[in-house]
Amino acid sequence: MSMIKKIPNGVIYRIKDETVCVEGYGENCIRVRSTRNGSLSDERYTLLEAENLPAQVNISDKSASVTSGILRAEIADRMWDGYCLTFYRNDKVILRTVDEGHYTSRFSHVEGDNYRTRIVFEANAGEHIYGLGQEQQDFFDKKGCTYELKHRNTKSSVPVIYSSLGYGFMWNSPAIGSVEFGNNHTVWSAESVYQADYLVFSGNTPADTMNRYCRLTGFAPEMPAWAAGFWQCKLRYESQDEVLDVARRYKAEGIPVSAIVIDYFHWTEQGNWEFDPDYWPDPKTMCDELRKMGLEPVVSIWPTINPNSRNWRPMSEGNMLVRTENGQYGIFDFYGQQTYVDVTSPQAREYLWQQVKKGYYDYGIKTFWLDEAEPEIRPESYSNLKFHIGNGAQTALAYPYYYAKAFYENLRAEGEEDILLLTRCAYPGSQKFGTAVWNGDIPSTFDALRQSVVSGLSMAMSGIPWWNSDIGGFFFGDTSSEYFRELIVRWFQFGLFCPVMRLHGVRNRESDYKYRHPGIKEPSGGDNELWSFGVRNFPILKAIVEQRGRLRPYILESARNTSRTGEPIMRPMYFDFPDDEICFTLSDQYMFGRDILFAPICKQGATDRNVYLPCGEWVRTSSGEIFAGGERYTVHADIGEYIAFVRKGAEVLKAFPGAV
């Protein structure tokens, strides 16, 4: 066999032009690193340190193996075309590498010590693959699909998957790349990396496997109590008076609202993190009144900055901004050329926080909406970006992780414990910073609603448990149309059974719309409060928000389970019923916590849909009718009804007036 060396928790294997390390990385987890360079890098990126659990290592004349719990990796010398690495779970093959032409298929030189890298595995017939972050598309099962590994608005590339064969896989690289889950092979690739780096992990159930993943990347903290309620949001409230007027009306209507969000361009300039005093003259008084009404004030942050900002010179001269390898600073054109704060730099994170502290926190703002978290760049020339941690082609996917880290760690340093950050993008480990990710600026359509269900479940199986969407969609919502008025009700029903329930969007302005502040930069869209969607809808939507209030104890208990075990709040059916093959095929119904099954209606005009109930007995929340599990049912729900079931005997059934 080629050169092989035993190391404390694994083996290092050398063949011509390649070094491979296979090692145990905690219980039921094996990490693989491979490089053409002379030595391996110890860079973990966002991965936590390995748990100190010894792996079993065996070396023979023809092979070597590393065993960690129920996982075993065997490396075999094939001489004529390199090596084969095979992974076993409980002695059954789950992954096997394919070497398509020796090392030349794995590494192609880019520059310096960096290579375009691809790792190829055999395809497993009948395997289902889930996760990989979120993207507005219809495929919950990723088998047969190809995806870019890059972020953009509506797309978070979280390179983590769960397989129906009972294992998880994490591609441990923030480099731009792609993945193919073909019927002929599976290929993970990166455009420019020092080494390939991935982990295979497992457990006896999907819940065990998710717990293993969170032990690799971090658990979400406990959710703040207020965050489990209903959030009011729109693009955008233009002034302090407008925010307070909306909050006071909600209070007068008796509608339980937990948060109100102040969206972008409330500032004086991009890169000045502060309220514009012309429209927000007394932020502290505003925050004090909102809290007396029981509302948490939330403020949008953009990490964009340009030379008109007073923070430009110190941040630019201090190398605290995302720079370009070639050319000028402009990488995002929005009211002029912008660049971004380089949140991968510790110095930049501290400087940014000091501005945010003076501009918001000292007035009582403790919750932040971290927008533009990808970051969004135009054109998508990642190799032209220079971050503190490296070139953009090699590191850009980590930006949202460090963006959340900047706020979470500084809020903790200020003594805050109940932290939630609304973010538009994520990366492995983002969950430990209290991120509640949403799926970006999507259209106001039934297609987008259906795809949002897929996005939420995919993020759940990527280790991101706090998730939400803009209720009603973001773009092109015509509040006077029957189409939108039906859509908003069905989306509210979906939002009721999401970890965070938040109304948002830029609604079309009606013909008689009166501008509140003519000439203001970025004027508001049309109205977007519960009373804005028609007389028939108002009592329906109010009842849904009231139901959310009754579910808050259950949601918070589910969130506590998340922080303890890693289990997502919103999760696919197979998570709780892994022995039921049908549950692996269901992408349009899901479990909300351990006891609620929700089946959203995502088709215009529909009042009936098929629902599969797994084993046990299930109680419909609207009627109290008991259904036997293991069967499919056609269930009816008029526009003012939704389709949800609770396990018979579960405590949460008492939260539904129609079921008791």
Q: Check 74, 371, 372, 376 and give the catalytic one.
A: 371
Amino acid letter for position 365? I
Return the SS3 of 204: coil
- CB-based contact 74:86 (threshold 8 Å): yes
- CB-based contact 398:344 (threshold 8 Å): yes
- CB-based contact 471:488 (threshold 8 Å): yes
| Rounded Cα gap, residues 64 and 619, in angstroms | 53
| Rounded Cα gap, residues 398 and 391, in angstroms | 12
Q: Tokens 């409060």 label which residue?
A: 529
- CB-based contact 601:644 (threshold 8 Å): no
Active site residue 527: no
| Rounded Cα gap, residues 658 and 623, in angstroms | 5
- CB-based contact 312:320 (threshold 8 Å): no
Token readout for 56 is: 């079993």
Return the SS3 of 132: coil
Active site residue 141: no
Task: Name 272's Cβ contacts closer than 8 Å, sequence gap at least 6.
Answer: 309, 310, 311, 355, 359
Q: Tokens 């991120």 label which residue?
A: 435
Helix (H) / strand (E) containing 558: helix 537-565
Q: Tokens 């009700």 label which residue?
A: 489
H-only helix segments in 386-462? 392-395, 399-413, 446-460
Q: Check 374, 486, 576, 588 and give the catalytic one.
A: 374
**φ, ψ of residue 57 in degrees (nearest 5):** -120, 130
Tell me whether strands 421-423 and 435-438 are parallel, antiparallel or unpaired: parallel
* DSSP conformation letters of 217-245: H----PPPGGGGSEEE--S---SHHHHHH
Q: How many residues does the chain have?
A: 660
Q: What is the four-CA torsion angle of 361, 365, 367, 371, rounded to 10 degrees?
A: -80
Which residues is 467 bridged to in the sheet? 437
| Rounded Cα gap, residues 561 and 553, in angstroms | 12
Active site residue 374: yes
Distances (CA, A) of 12 to 19, 32, 33, 470, 518: 7, 10, 9, 48, 68
CA atoms within 13 A of residue 304's CA, in its CB half-sphere: 25
Catalytic residues: 371, 374, 441
